[in-house]
Amino acid sequence: MPLSTDQAAEIDALRAEARETLRPTVPALEALLYKALPVLDHGFVRVIDYMGDDGAIVQAARVSYGRGTKKVSEDRGLIRYLMRHRHSTPFEMCEIKFHVKLPIFVARQWIRHRTANVNEISARYSILDKEYYIPAPAQLAAQSAVNRQGRGDLIEGEQARAVLDLLRADAERNYADYEYLLNVDAEGNPADAGRDGLARELARMNLTLNTYTQWYWKIDLHNLMHFLSLRADPHAQYEIRVYAEEMLKVLEAWVPATFEAFCDYRMGGASFSAKDLEVIKSLIAGGSPTVESSGLSKREWTELMAKLGRE
């Protein structure tokens, strides 16, 4: 379970406490505030706080005194213009803070996005919970033969069972060794009064990368959309993509006009090089460009044809 009974009760208490504010709020996002959106087997994403909305983006772009000075349709058009022409500053006026629980190996991928403010749980101070990620059988795949950082064919049958058994056994054994090094029992109490526990900052190095960690992650809207454009992409690793997919739902609730433009121009759009455009113009004019005549590499040609939906 992503949340314990105590954690769920704490969230209920937070949601029951009403606060008055003069700031703009978003009812659809307020409905999600503090709630844990489950991801993987023990993970979650939840919104802790936010600032701004679609109107704040428009207001910043116009540098106006108030809100609602234009019709909703005009605001939508401006947001689409800003997105289309990559005017990023107005989107930076909005911010959001997430609480994320995720496996350590996913966190190490995630932290490469250096445009956020992050505060992670400290295993120097706290004892990490006995929670680790075990892939579902549908996610067990062999190494891709054509993509060095991707997955190939599904592993099934006895081989899959052996892989899952090994992952569980390693995680169980390493966590048991972690407890032994700390000299604590399952409740966190001293296990053996006759010996000292190893310092937490040293004992943690024995944990496997599928152990769960947690952090608070605060980011502005522009950089959030950059993160989502990469991590919600079908080519992203499954274990980080599922987090991004939940965050896309948050984005839609928070800034629906921006979400629409983001899906049209970023998630569902494509970029073309100068040579790509020459090929496209030739095709429109009825020409028959080839990889040799295009000036593109074989890989560039393949990617262009995939964008155009051609063999």
Judge whether 261 and 222 are in contact, CB under 8 Å.
no
pLDDT of 74-123, one tens digit each? 899 999 999 999 999 999 999 999 999 999 999 999 999 999 999 999 99
**Domain 1-133+211-269 class?**
alpha beta
Question: What are the catalytic residues?
Answer: 231
pLDDT of 175-205, one tens digit each? 999 999 999 988 888 888 889 999 999 999 9
Q: Which amino acid is at 127?
A: I
Pairing of strands 37-39, 141-143: unpaired
Hey, what are 308's tokens?
């155009």
223 vs 115: CA distance, rounded Å:
7
Domain boundaries, the chain: 1-133+211-269, 134-209, 274-307
pLDDT of 253-262, one tens digit each? 999 999 999 9
Strands (E) in the chain, as ranges, are 37-39, 43-51, 95-103, 117-120, 141-143, 151-154, 212-220
Average pLDDT rounded to a whole number, residues 277-306: 94
Strands (E) in 126-277, as ranges, are 141-143, 151-154, 212-220
Strand, helix or coil for residue 67:
coil
